[in-house]
């Protein structure tokens, strides 16, 4: 009998199906759960880095590696039905829930009670309860119904109120100078004493970060944000995140809902397991003293906790990994001169973040006067000679590519501009003995956004009200937003700013920098801890 091609294909398909069927019914473990891939009953990582909790008689209990209000690093955290679950037999050992999480609702001055976490947001779970809810009959080959998300997960519980601030460039500050800034300070400090992992041979275009003891971030989950909500209008958030963490995947609210739905089956209850997770919550951070009562910056709680412990330095070396990765990605010079003491640069590069094309800016005549005064200063200093070369950049960020903005900022010694999102680029400056930020406010107006960020990186910060200059410790005690704060008629007496820059450089080149400029000294002096 001659078989046709069709007969041969059908025979092969039938044989394959028969083989699969007999394999399933002859292996009771696979018949019960086809996801069994190991008989190892330990929680040790397998050769490919996976962690299998499916056959463990006792699931690992949750512990806290590091904590500050709004910032908590967990080992073995669980999630089921949308609640983060702390599996423990000693619940008294944990921080209070309101200092770790919230409902994720947008915040204002009157709704803190509504943002207090409930059992739907976070709860304790005993080992017995965990076994009852998720445990399989191991003696029959059933698996525990717990799925592990490998690696370090960032759980951002912030509402889109600040991640998606009217889809403006303002998102850039909250994303980079708060979320990423605080994330890196906390991770860098928490793992500072760990032995660095061995280098991999398959490094991407962005090389391993300088801080190789910090675990690789596997994923970032924006629990309350959609796919567009964590991005800013100009696109810098996505640009920066991909440049610094090229291997990290991003999940958003719909992905989180998928994970929640996977655990809410009424017949079979499941849980997700995070072997390592950093939970960040803005509302919880504002319940802490540094953020809530002084800086209004969520990253301040993370930074301060690690600074207190001596896990991060006060001159910005801890941030050098992120800064250099961004600079390299943009095609700039990523070289960093790290050390306990700030170095003296070869040049004074003044960068003016010109906001005349935005809603909040200087009076036009004052803007022109400022440009002339700074240009005259730079030309005069170069004529006089000396060891330092002077340079002036008048930057309209909206006219430059993101790469160009990064390259300019990374070379900057002194950054000045009207209070606004463009000053976030100060996080790209390489701190040195002359580094400073000059921020121009409408008189009587003040905010700590860039003041705190500057000094947390070891840079001096000056605030200017027309013809008046002030700096720590002579600053307004509280933020102020008078009428016209966001308007186009901010006054400035330009000669004062030019003289400030010249005096700043002269003082730093002739003598030591001000030792009281340390932001840690600031907080201790104010008895904030």
* Mean of pLDDT values over 121-127: 97
Tokens representing residue 35 in the block: 């996801």
For residue 128, pLDDT beyond 90: yes
Tokens representing residue 59 in the block: 């699931």
For residue 528, pLDDT beyond 50: no
Model confidence at 8, pLDDT cuts 50, 70, 90, reads very low
Model confidence at 363, pLDDT cuts 50, 70, 90, reads very high
* Mean of pLDDT values over 6-30: 41
pLDDT of residue 4: 57
Q: Of 9-23, 217-231, 440-454, give the range with the top mean pLDDT.
A: 440-454
The answer to whether the beta carbons of residues 217 and 154 sit under 8 Å apart is: yes
Q: Out of 91-95, 151-155, 431-435, 510-514, which region has the weakest mean confidence (pLDDT)?
A: 510-514
* Helices 298-308, 181-190: inter-axial angle, 10-degree rounding: 20
Separation between Cα atoms, residue 44 and residue 493, nearest integer Å: 66
Cα atoms in the 13 Å half-sphere on the side-chain side of 232: 21
Model confidence at 235, pLDDT cuts 50, 70, 90, reads confident
Model confidence at 284, pLDDT cuts 50, 70, 90, reads very high
Tokens representing residue 288 in the block: 């802490």
Which are the contacts of 163, defined by CB distance < 8 A and separation ≥ 6? 156, 171, 174, 175, 179, 222, 225, 229, 230
Q: What are the C-alpha distances in Å from 72 to residues 106, 147, 282? A: 20, 22, 12
Model confidence at 266, pLDDT cuts 50, 70, 90, reads low
Tokens representing residue 211 in the block: 């801080």
For residue 521, pLDDT beyond 90: no
For residue 150, pLDDT beyond 70: yes
* Mean of pLDDT values over 66-78: 98
Separation between Cα atoms, residue 226 and residue 228, nearest integer Å: 5
The residue ranking higher by pLDDT, 510 or 18, is 510
* Mean of pLDDT values over 219-239: 89
Task: Please give the mean pLDDT across all residues of the chain.
Answer: 84
pLDDT of residue 520: 52
For residue 312, pLDDT beyond 50: yes
pLDDT of residue 279: 98
For residue 152, pLDDT beyond 90: yes
Give the CA angle between residues 484, 488, 491 to the nearest 5°: 80
Separation between Cα atoms, residue 377 and residue 352, nearest integer Å: 14
For residue 203, pLDDT beyond 50: no
pLDDT in tens, 24-54: 333 333 233 322 222 333 333 333 445 689 8
Model confidence at 285, pLDDT cuts 50, 70, 90, reads very high
For residue 256, pLDDT beyond 90: yes
Pick the CATH number of 317-525 from 3.40.50, 1.10.3470, 3.40.1710, 3.30.70: 3.40.50
pLDDT of residue 242: 93
Model confidence at 158, pLDDT cuts 50, 70, 90, reads confident
Separation between Cα atoms, residue 465 and residue 361, nearest integer Å: 13
Helix, strand, coil shares of the chain, percent, nearest 5, are 40, 15, 45
pLDDT in tens, 432-484: 999 999 999 999 999 999 999 999 998 999 999 999 999 988 888 888 999 99
pLDDT of residue 194: 67
* Mean of pLDDT values over 378-399: 95
pLDDT of residue 478: 84
In the chain, where the domains are located: 63-197+204-308, 317-525
pLDDT of residue 510: 81
For residue 334, pLDDT beyond 50: yes
Of 81, 90, 121, 91, the residue nearest 103 (C-alpha): 121
């Amino acid at each position: 009998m001659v078989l046709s091609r069709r007969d041969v294909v059908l025979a092969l398909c039938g044989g394959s199906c028969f083989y699969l069927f007999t394999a399933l019914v002859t292996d009771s473990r696979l018949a019960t759960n086809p996801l069994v891939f190991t008989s190892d009953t330990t929680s040790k990582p397998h050769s490919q880095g996976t962690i299998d909790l499916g056959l463990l008689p006792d699931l690992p209990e949750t512990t806290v590696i590091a904590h500050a209000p709004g910032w908590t690093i967990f080992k073995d955290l669980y999630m089921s039905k949308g609640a983060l679950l702390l599996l423990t037999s000693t619940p008294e050992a944990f921080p209070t829930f309101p200092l770790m999480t919230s409902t994720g609702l947008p915040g204002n001055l009157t709704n803190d009670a509504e943002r207090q976490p409930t059992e739907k947001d976070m709860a304790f779970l005993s080992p017995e309860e965990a076994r009852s809810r998720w445990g399989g009959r191991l003696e029959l080959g059933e698996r525990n119904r717990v799925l592990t998300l490998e690696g370090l997960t960032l759980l951002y519980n912030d509402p889109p109120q600040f991640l998606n601030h009217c889809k403006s460039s303002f998102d850039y500050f909250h994303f980079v100078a708060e979320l990423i800034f605080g994330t890196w300070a906390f991770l860098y400090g928490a793992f500072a004493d760990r032995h660095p992992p061995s280098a991999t041979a398959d490094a991407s275009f962005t090389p391993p970060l300088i801080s190789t003891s910090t675990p690789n971030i596997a994923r970032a989950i924006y629990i309350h944000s959609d796919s567009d909500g964590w991005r800013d209008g100009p696109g810098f958030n996505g640009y920066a995140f991909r440049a610094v963490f090229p291997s990290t995947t991003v999940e958003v609210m719909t992905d989180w809902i998928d994970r929640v739905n996977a655990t809410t089956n009424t017949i079979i209850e499941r849980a997700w397991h995070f072997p390592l997770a950093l939970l960040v919550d803005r509302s919880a951070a504002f319940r802490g003293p540094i953020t809530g009562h002084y800086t209004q910056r969520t990253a301040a709680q993370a930074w301060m906790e690690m600074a207190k412990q001596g896990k991060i330095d006060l001159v910005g070396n801890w941030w050098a990994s992120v800064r250099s990765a961004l600079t390299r990605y943009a095609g700039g010079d990523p070289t960093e001169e790290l050390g306990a003491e700030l170095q003296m640069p070869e040049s004074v590069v003044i960068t003016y973040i010109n906001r005349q094309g935005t809603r909040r800016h200087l009076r036009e005549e004052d803007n022109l006067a400022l440009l002339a005064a700074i240009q005259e200063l730079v030309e005069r200093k170069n004529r006089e000679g000396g060891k330092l070369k002077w340079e002036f950049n008048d930057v309209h960020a909206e006219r430059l590519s993101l790469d160009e903005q990064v390259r300019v900022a990374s070379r900057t010694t002194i950054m000045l501009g009207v209070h606004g999102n463009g000053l976030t680029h100060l996080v790209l400056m390489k701190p040195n003995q002359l580094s400073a930020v000059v921020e121009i406010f409408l008189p009587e107006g003040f905010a700590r956004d860039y003041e705190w960020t500057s000094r947390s990186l070891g840079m001096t910060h000056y605030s200017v009200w027309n013809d008046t200059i002030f700096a720590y410790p002579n600053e307004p005690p509280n933020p102020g937003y008078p009428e016209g704060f966001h308007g186009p008629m901010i006054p400035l007496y330009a000669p004062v700013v030019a003289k400030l820059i010249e005096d700043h450089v002269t003082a730093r080149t002739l003598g030591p920098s001000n030792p009281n400029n340390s932001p840690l000294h600031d907080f201790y002096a104010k008895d904030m801890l």
